Amino acid sequence: MSELINNREHAAGTMDEDRLHRREELKAIIKELHEGADPALVKERFREAVGSVEVEEISLLEESLMREEGIPVSEVQRLCSVHASIFEGSISDIHGSAPAAPEEQPGHPVHTFKLENRELERLTGFSISLHLDKFMKDDSDANRFKLLEDLNLLLDVDKHYSRKENLLFPYLERYGIYGPTQVMWGVDDAIRAGIKEAKRLLAEYAGDREAVRAAIENAVREVEEMIFKEENILLPMALKKLTEDEWLKIAEETEEIGFCLIPGTARWVPVRAPEPGTASSAAAAHIGPQTGAAESGLQAGEAGAEKAAAAAMPAFAQGSGTAGAASGAAMPQWVADMLAAERKSEAAEATSAPDQSAGIAQQAAKMAAQAAEMARQAAELAASVSGRPLQPPQPSPGPGGPDETAADSPAASASAPISEGYVRFDTGILSVQQLELIMNHLPVDLTFIDENDIVRYFSHGKERIFARTKAVIGRSVQNCHPPQSVHVVEELLRDFKSGRKDHEDFWIPFRDKFVYIRYFAIRDERGTYRGTLEFTQNAAPIRELEGQKRILSEA
């Protein structure tokens, strides 16, 4: 029945007249702000006309502003801080979570976001505030450097925002929530740019203290307002929509991007109820919600399970001999006789086991040979139909000698799961494992987008230049970019699809790298557009090459 029921879509699609009226009031208020109304007067009207507002109404509001009213994303981003201050303290969904709630458990993505927000608040509200006051009184290099260190730490918020954009947003979009994600991503980028601008003014300081203060105060204010928006709008909305399994997938990929101002978190393992009547149900109370915090905790849980299972057994079955007697529960004689008979039978079976095992092995070998022959014939038939000669891969001899086993044969590989199979190219044959290893060892990052603009694959090398998470697979490429750059993506794809271009190159300095980004239109033998390949490489080491190198390195 689960495939026929979707309560979340039903809830999102229903709205009574009162909520519809409140939504129209909210839209009218935001439109007044858009037209230049005084925020203080609008705030008073909001309190009188609307009162409290739910998180989902804010989501619907932003969606409506962009789609129905024609207000561009950039304008909604500008208004975001203004209307967030109006909503502050009026969101009815803000309730204290119960201590046992999953989002309050270390390792849950929401818990991690909030943990990082507390560190950001300490940085903005204490360190930066203190050091900025000192700098305004004395703009010495020592005080300037302290502020630069603070801003370097503040820029670590990029990891926080990247996890939000690349892990959380894709799941919200699956539930049709686009407005808040597009708006928030744009504001995130503005915050990043603001912090970098403040750093630049300090690094190139020419005596204008007021310019430095204005830039830092603006960056701090935007960071703190984003904390409010996340915890009072975004995260409560996400908790209403996402399933526990979806949160678990986000948690599993969190470390891929990294943490902001914290060293990491424990691994979150949701508490799952065991099946009724099993030994694990008796042991469930011994297993904590987080097994990744310490290995000893897992061992303790396993020990507790063993104890609970033992406790569930009859007293006489827990031991024999003196141990059983000491417990005051003697084994009944009929049970002892039954166990003795079973031991005798097991000993007899063990004596004849070699002969039986040999017979079973012969039968298994015969069946495997028959299966291999059938697979070979099927492969020959497929090759004759396609008109291409059969060239099965030649695996290396197994441990038993040159005669390959059935499990190692190409025929067996043909019937194996795809992860264990082979891929035939015009120029050779590779196993799936070999192919994946090759892709992940290339000194470049690859991403493939199909003809429908859907992200289908990315390579997973040791050091990616730009973050990629598995959550982007199956996601529209337009939604994988900040709103400010979507038009560039769409123009590039239009050129590729129309045949106007076959490739496009970009190069940018990025942190300690010089990044060379290339896009290639992928076309089949008929020239039909089948997708786009993104090729990203750190070209800094190549640009530094001089002279020539003709011998092997010593190390």
Q: Does any domain span residue 389?
A: no
Q: Does any domain span residue 356?
A: no
Is residue 452 domain-shared with residue 532, that is, in the same domain? yes
Is residue 124 domain-shared with residue 242, that is, in the same domain? yes
Distance set, CA 240 to CA 12, 232, 547 (Å): 10, 13, 61
Q: Which CATH number goes with the domain that contains 486?
A: 3.30.450.20
- Where do we find the tokens 């004596």? 351
Q: Specify which residues 448 forms β-bridges with.
A: 457, 533
The closest of 523, 424, 81 to 432, measured between CA atoms, is 424
Query: pTM of this prediction?
Result: 0.50
Distance set, CA 387 to CA 143, 312, 390, 425 (Å): 77, 65, 9, 15
pLDDT > 80? residue 519: yes
Are 127 and 120 a contacting pair, CB within 8 Å? no
Query: DSSP states of 288-309 as a string?
Result: -S-SSS-HHHHHHHHHHHHHHH
Domains held by the chain: number: 3
Domain boundary among 257, 279, 303: 257
Helix (H, G, I), strand (E, B) or coil at 513: strand
Sign of the dihedral through C-alpha 100, 105, 109, 112: positive
Q: What is the pLDDT of residue 6?
A: 39
Domain hosting 479: range is 442-543
User: How far is CA 485 from its chain centroid?
Assistant: 22
Is residue 116 domain-shared with residue 252, that is, in the same domain? yes
The closest of 133, 187, 143, 142 to 165, measured between CA atoms, is 187
Domain boundary among 87, 121, 146: 87
Confidence of residue 13 (pLDDT cuts 50, 70, 90): very low
Q: What is the pLDDT of residue 318?
A: 40
Q: Does any domain span residue 437?
A: no
Question: Which amino acid appears at position 162 of this protein?
Answer: S
Distance separating alpha carbons of residues 177 and 38, to the nearest angstrom: 30
**E strand or H helix at 532:** strand 529-538
Is residue 73 domain-shared with residue 160, that is, in the same domain? no
Helix (H, G, I), strand (E, B) or coil at 176: coil
Q: What is the pLDDT of residue 177?
A: 83
Q: Does any domain span residue 107?
A: yes
Is residue 108 domain-shared with residue 242, that is, in the same domain? yes
Q: Where are the alpha helices (DSSP H) in 432-485?
A: 432-441
Distance separating alpha carbons of residues 131 and 152, to the nearest angstrom: 14
- Where do we find the tokens 């950039």? 74
Q: Specify which residues 422 forms β-bridges with.
A: 431
pLDDT in tens, 78-110: 555 555 665 665 655 444 444 457 788 899 999
Is residue 64 domain-shared with residue 169, that is, in the same domain? no
Distance separating alpha carbons of residues 472 and 476, to the nearest angstrom: 8
Is residue 119 domain-shared with residue 244, that is, in the same domain? yes
Are 237 and 57 a contacting pair, CB within 8 Å? no
Q: Does any domain span residue 32?
A: yes
Q: What is the pLDDT of residue 311?
A: 39
Are 159 and 257 a contacting pair, CB within 8 Å? yes
pLDDT > 90? residue 449: yes
Distance set, CA 131 to CA 140, 152, 191, 216, 380 (Å): 12, 14, 20, 11, 77
Distance separating alpha carbons of residues 533 and 423, to the nearest angstrom: 20
Mean pLDDT of 21-49: 70
Q: Which CATH number goes with the domain that contains 193?
A: 1.20.120.520
Tokens of 547: 């002279």
Segment of 27-36, 169-178, 387-396 carrying the highest mean pLDDT = 169-178
Distance separating alpha carbons of residues 362 and 400, to the nearest angstrom: 16
Of all residues in the chain, the percent with pLDDT exceeding 90 is 32
Q: Does any domain span residue 201?
A: yes
Is residue 454 domain-shared with residue 535, that is, in the same domain? yes
Q: Does any domain span residue 210?
A: yes
Is residue 67 domain-shared with residue 171, that is, in the same domain? no
Alpha carbons within 13 A on the beta-carbon side of 511: 7
Distance separating alpha carbons of residues 232 and 249, to the nearest angstrom: 23
Q: What is the pLDDT of residue 292?
A: 40
CB atoms within 10 A of CB 289: 17
Is residue 118 domain-shared with residue 246, that is, in the same domain? yes
The closest of 366, 372, 361, 369 to 411, measured between CA atoms, is 372
DSSP state of 138: -
pLDDT in tens, 335-391: 555 556 656 665 665 555 555 555 666 666 666 666 666 666 566 555 544 444 444
Is residue 211 domain-shared with residue 148, that is, in the same domain? yes
Distance separating alpha carbons of residues 207 and 139, to the nearest angstrom: 8
Q: Does any domain span residue 36?
A: yes
Domain boundary among 37, 55, 87: 87
- For the chain, counts of helices (H) and of strands (E): 22, 7
Q: What is the pLDDT of residue 350?
A: 56
- Where do we find the tokens 């393992």? 269
CB under 8 Å to 173, separation ≥6 — which residues?
181, 475, 476, 479
pLDDT > 60? residue 159: yes
Q: What is the pLDDT of residue 475?
A: 79
Cα 495-501-507 angle, rounded to 5 deg = 95
pLDDT in tens, 55-84: 566 666 666 666 666 666 666 655 555 556
pLDDT in tens, 428-443: 899 888 999 999 999 9
Q: What is the pLDDT of residue 322?
A: 38
Radius of gyration for the alpha carbons in the chain, expressed in angstroms and rounded: 32
Sign of the dihedral through C-alpha 81, 84, 89, 94: negative
Average pLDDT, the chain: 73
Is residue 51 domain-shared with residue 152, that is, in the same domain? no
